[in-house]
Structure 1
C-alpha cells in the first residue's frame, strides 16, 4: 500500500518569494538565467543524498516547494518589479499593523492581493513537465544513498536547489537526533523541548521532524502545526517564582485554571530537593482537593494521582548539572544534576508513601548517551525531556546532476546511485 504524503498546502510555502528566488543562492538564480538566455534546455537527472546515515524528513516540504516553484514568469522584468512592490507593501503592512490603523491595513492588503493576482497570471507552471521520485518522510537512508531525484529541464527548477536542500537538511538533522534518543529510551516517551534553543521560525519544521522520528510530544503549538496535534508542557520555574517560590501554590493555581484534559506535571527542583518538594506538593494538593488532612506514610495519595484536572500525573526533575540534589550522596560529578541515585531514591520513597502511580519525568542535560546509561542501569524513569541536544546534529544534504539527456554526466567522484527505493511523486 502506497504511503501518504502531506498535502503541499500544509507547509504554507511563501510562493511569491520562492518564485522570485528570494531565498536562493545567487549562483543558482544566475545559472538558470544563463540557461534561459542561451535557450539551453537539457533534460537532466538531479540526485539528492545525505552525507551520513540519517532519518530523512523534509521531503514533503521540498516537494511542496517544487510543486509551486517549478516554472517561470513569462515577463521576468515585470514580475521582478511587481515582486519588489509586494515586498515594500509588506514592510508597510508590518509598520501599520503596530498602529492598528485598520483602514490603511485594508487598503494595503487589497493592493497586495491585487498585485499577487497579477503576478500569478504571469506564472507558467511546469510542474507536470518534471518527474520527482523520493523516499517518504521518516524513512532511513545510508550515507550517499539517493533520497530524491528530479528529472526535467533545470531552467524550470534549478534555482530551487538552495531551499530544497535546506528544508531537507534541517528536518533530517532534527529527525536523526530525535531518532537516536528515541532508540536509546527503549520505548519510553521522549518530550521534544528544543523550541527555546533556536529561532521561532523553525519550530513547525522541527516539531514535524521530531514527531516523525518518534517523539511523544512537542512543546509549542507551532511545533505541532503540520500534524495538527496539541502541544504539551509542564509547570515552569517562572510560575513557581510568581507564587513566591511555592511549588505547591503554583501547582494548585495551574490546576484551577488550565484545561481539565491537560495532565498536571509539576517541576519539583526549585528548592534543590526533588523528593521533599514532591511529597509537600502531594500533601498540599491532597488536602486542597480532598478537604482532609494528609499524613505522609498513612494517607493514600492515589486519589489525587493520575491524568487530568484535580490530580497530579507526574513530577519533573530538572536539576542543573552544576548542582547536587539534597537527597544525593556527595561524590564525584556523577552525583550532580539529575543522576541515577536521585531517581532511584525518589521512586523508592514515592512507592513507600503510596505514590506508585506518580510518573517521573527527567530533563536537563539529557542526550542519547545519558539516556542509554539510564536505561542500561534500569533507572526507573517514565519519560525523558530533551532540549538542546536535539539541535546539535548536522546532516548535510547534497544534490548533483548525474545524467544529461539520458546519458551519464556527473562531476568526478559522483555517479547515479541505486534508485530502487524511490517512488514517483503523485499529487492529487
Structure 2
C-alpha cells in the first residue's frame, strides 16, 4: 500500500520498519547491505523531540530514508555493490547528499543493495544476493538501485536515495510500483558518490508519492521547501513520442499507458503524437561503437580491471571492458555531437509541457529468465532504452505507477523541459491525483 501520510512518531515508524526488515529474514539482508539501527533510533528520537517543540528542520525531518550503497558514510568502506571494495579504506566524510539528509533531520535507516558499480538495469548481484521484486519475489527488482526500490515498496523505508545514469532510479521504481525522480544532472552534488559516468550520473529519490519526491528534491538540491504550484490538466500540452521508444513493448505495458493517455485527454489535456525519432534515436546511433558510460567506467576502473578482474561480476566486467575500445577521438566526437543535440530537442519541445511514454517497455521478467548472458544483455538493453535517452539529453524525468489489477507494475514516464525540475514535479502531482484519486 502506498503511503502519503506519516502516522505516529518517527521512533514508532522506525521500529515498525526495523521489524519488517527482521521479519523478512534473508530477504532483508539482500535488500540492505548495512543497517544503522542505533544511529537511526537516536535520530528518530531527536526528530520526535523537535516535533514536540515545534522546531522541525524541514520536510524530511523524522522521515525514514535508505541510501544506495555507493554513497560514502564516514568511517566505513563504500562497496558500491562490489566484492572488490569490501576492504577499501573507510570514507573520511559523508557524501554530500548524505550530509544534506542528516542536516534536514532525515533518519537514515541503512544502505541498500545495488548492481555492482551501478552498471545494469536488471538488478542482479552475485556478491550480496539479489532482492526479489516487491510485487513478486521471483521477478527482478530492476537496477541499479535494486534494494532502494524494494526497501520502499516493502515498507522498510519511506524514501530511498539512488543514482540514475541510464534509468537506475526510474527502472526499479517502475518495476516496483513507485514514484522515481531523476533530476537535472547538476541539481544534486555528487561528491562522495562512487561514479559510473561523470557525464550522466544523477542522484534522486524513489518513493511512494510525488509529494515525497518534491520534499526530497528540496533537501538534496538545497532549495527552499515550497509547496508545488497546483497545475490543472486542462490545457496542458503533452507530447507522445511514438516510434522507437514504444517498440518491443509488452501488450500490458502499452494498454496501461494508452489508458492513462486517454484519461488525460478526457480531462482536457492536449495529447499529441510527436515524431521525434530523428533526435531520440541519436544517442543509440552515436554510441554504436561504444558508449560514454562504458568509456568513463573504463577509466574509473583502469587500475583494477587487469589486476583484480576475478573479483568482478563477469556481466559487469564485460560491459566495462567494452569502454576500452572507444578511442579518444570517438569519445570527444560523441560529446560534441551531444552538445549540438541538446538545443535541438529543446526547440522541438518548446511548445510542450512534457513528453509522456512508458518508463520501460516490458514487465519485470523472472530472475531465472535472465541468467544466461544473451537473455541478460537483451533484457538490460530494453530496460535501459527509454530512460537512458533522457540522461543523454539531461532532461528531468519522473516515473509514476499506473493502476493495474495484475501484479506486474507499469510506469508512465514524464519528461520535462530543460532545467524545469519543479515544474515537472508539479505536473507529476496533477497526473498522480488524476490517475490515483486517493492523492
TM-score > 0.5 by shorter chain? no
Flag the structure with larger Rg: 1
Q: Return the TM-score normalized by structure 1.
A: 0.24
Q: Return the TM-score normalized by structure 2.
A: 0.24
